[in-house]
Structure 1
Amino acid sequence: MTRRHTRPRARAWALLTAAALLLPTGGLTASAAAADTAPGTSAAPAEQDGPAAVEVQGLKGEYFSMSAPGARDFAELGGTVLDPQINFSGLTGTFQELNGRTEHTTARWTGRIEAPATGDYTFHAIGDNGFRLFIDGEPVIDHWEPDWDNEQTSAAIRLNAGEKHDFRLEMFQDTGGANMFLRWSTPTLPKQLVPMSAFTPPDDFEVYPLEPSVGENGRQVRVRFEGRVGNVKGLAE
Structure 2
Amino acid sequence: MTAGDPDANAAELLCEAGRRVVDLGLSPGSSGNISVLVDGHILISATGTSLGALRPDDLSTIGLDGALGDGPKPSKEYPLHLEMYRRETSARAVVHLHSPAATAVSCLSPWSEHSALPPITPYLVMRVGQVPRVPYAAPGSRRLAENLATVPGELRAALLANHGSITSGRDLEAAIDAAIEIEEAARIVVALCGREVDLLSRQDVDELTARYGTVWDW
* TM-score, normalised via structure 2 length: 0.22
More strand by share: 1
Which structure's residues are more often helix, by fraction?
A: 2
Higher alpha-carbon Rg? 1
